[in-house]
Structure 1
Amino acid sequence: MRRIVLVAAAGTLALAGCSGTGDDGSTAAAAGGPIKVQASDSSCEVARAESDAGTSVFNVTNKGQKVTEFYVYAPGDRVMGEVENIAPGLSRELHVELPAGSYETACKPGMIGKGIRAAFTVSGSSAPLTDDAALAAATDSYSRYVKSQTDALLVKTEEFVTAVKANKVNEAKALFPIARTYWERIEPVAEIFGDLDPKIDGREEVVEEGMAFTGFHRIEKDLWAAKPDVSKDGAIADQLLTDVKEIVSKAQAEKLSPLQLANGAKGLLDEVATGKITGEEDRYSHTDLWDFNANVEGSKAAIASLRPVLEERDAALVKTLDTEFANVDAALAKHRAGDGWKLHNELSQADLKTLSDAINALAEPVSKVAAVVSQK
Structure 2
Amino acid sequence: MGESSMPPSSPPSARLLKLGILASAVLMLAALGLFALSLNGRDHGDGDVRLAVTAQGCEPRELSVPAGETRFSIVNDSQRAIEWEILDGVMVLEERENIAPGLHQPLTATLAEGDYAMTCGLLSNPHGTLHVTANDDAPAVALSRQDFIAPLAEYKVYLTLQTRRLIEATEALHQAITTGELETARMAYREARLIDQRLAMATGLYSDLDERLNARADYFAEREQDPEFVGFHRLALGLFETGSTDGLTPIATQLLEDTRTLGERLRHQAIPPAQLANGSARVLKAWHAHAIDSKTLNAHELLDLQGLTAGAEKIVTLLAPLLKRQAPDALEGLQTQLARLQQRLPEKSNTAPGAKLSSDVDREALLTDTQALADTLDSLDRTLALNG
| Match of residue 231 from structure 2 | 215
Q: Secondary structure at the match of 1:60?
A: strand
CA contact (8 A) 1:82 1:94 kept: no
1:358 CA drift (Å): 1.6
| Match of residue 163 from structure 2 | 150
Alpha-carbon separation, structure 2, partners of 1:247 and 1:301: 19
What are the within-5 Å matches in structure 2 for residues 221-370 of structure 1? 221-226=237-242, 228-276=243-291, 286-332=299-345, 335-336=346-347, 338=349, 346-347=357-358, 351-370=362-381
Alpha-carbon separation, structure 1, partners of 2:228 and 2:296: 17
After superposition, the CA RMSD in angstroms is 3.8
CA contact (8 A) 2:63 2:130 kept: no
Q: Percent of pairs identical after alignment?
A: 20
What are the within-5 Å matches in structure 2 for residues 167-246 of structure 1? 167-208=180-221, 212-226=228-242, 228-246=243-261
Alpha-carbon separation, structure 2, partners of 1:47 and 1:181: 38
Q: Secondary structure at the match of 1:256?
A: coil
Q: List runs of 5+ in structure 2 lacking aligned partners.
A: 1-44
Higher relative contact order (CA 8 A, sep 6+): 1
| Match of residue 118 from structure 1 | 129
1:218 CA drift (Å): 2.1
Structure 1 pair 142/59, CA: closer, same or farther in 2 (3 Å)?
farther
Structure 1 pair 166/67, CA: closer, same or farther in 2 (3 Å)?
closer
Does the alignment pair 1:58 with 2:74?
no
Task: Report Cα offsets for 1:321-345 as digits up to 9, x if no partner.
Answer: 111111111111xx22538568675
Alpha-carbon separation, structure 1, partners of 2:367 and 2:297: 17
- The AA in structure 1 aligned to 2:283 is L
Which structure has the larger Rg over C-alpha atoms? 2
Q: List runs of 5+ in structure 1 lacking aligned partners.
A: 1-20, 22-34
1:266 CA drift (Å): 0.4
Structure 1 pair 132/204, CA: closer, same or farther in 2 (3 Å)?
closer
Alpha-carbon separation, structure 1, partners of 2:294 and 2:354: 10
| Match of residue 13 from structure 1 | none
1:373 CA drift (Å): 3.2
CA contact (8 A) 1:166 1:231 kept: no
Structure 1 pair 64/82, CA: closer, same or farther in 2 (3 Å)?
closer
Q: Secondary structure at the match of 1:82?
A: strand
| Match of residue 21 from structure 2 | none
Alpha-carbon separation, structure 2, partners of 1:45 and 1:323: 43
Alpha-carbon separation, structure 2, partners of 1:321 and 1:120: 35
1:279 CA drift (Å): 6.0
CA contact (8 A) 1:161 1:237 kept: yes
Structure 1 pair 196/37, CA: closer, same or farther in 2 (3 Å)?
same
Q: Secondary structure at the match of 1:367?
A: helix
Equivalent pairs, count: 331
- The AA in structure 1 aligned to 2:384 is V
What are the within-5 Å matches in structure 2 for residues 124-143 of structure 1? 129=142, 131-143=144-156
Task: Report Cα offsets for 1:228-261 as digits up to 9, x if no partner.
Answer: 3324322222222112111111122221111111
- The AA in structure 2 aligned to 1:192 is L
Structure 1 pair 296/337, CA: closer, same or farther in 2 (3 Å)?
closer
TM-score, normalized by length of structure 1? 0.74
CA contact (8 A) 1:288 1:343 kept: no
| Match of residue 85 from structure 2 | 71
| Match of residue 102 from structure 1 | 115
Q: Secondary structure at the match of 1:374?
A: helix
CA contact (8 A) 1:202 1:217 kept: yes
Alpha-carbon separation, structure 2, partners of 1:307 and 1:143: 17
Alpha-carbon separation, structure 2, partners of 1:175 and 1:350: 25
Structure 1 pair 272/118, CA: closer, same or farther in 2 (3 Å)?
same
Alpha-carbon separation, structure 2, partners of 1:101 and 1:90: 24
Structure 1 pair 114/74, CA: closer, same or farther in 2 (3 Å)?
farther
Alpha-carbon separation, structure 2, partners of 1:93 and 1:186: 24
Structure 1 pair 132/206, CA: closer, same or farther in 2 (3 Å)?
closer
| Match of residue 20 from structure 2 | none
Alpha-carbon separation, structure 2, partners of 1:120 and 1:71: 14
CA contact (8 A) 1:36 1:46 kept: no
- The AA in structure 2 aligned to 1:240 is L
Alpha-carbon separation, structure 1, partners of 2:366 and 2:297: 17
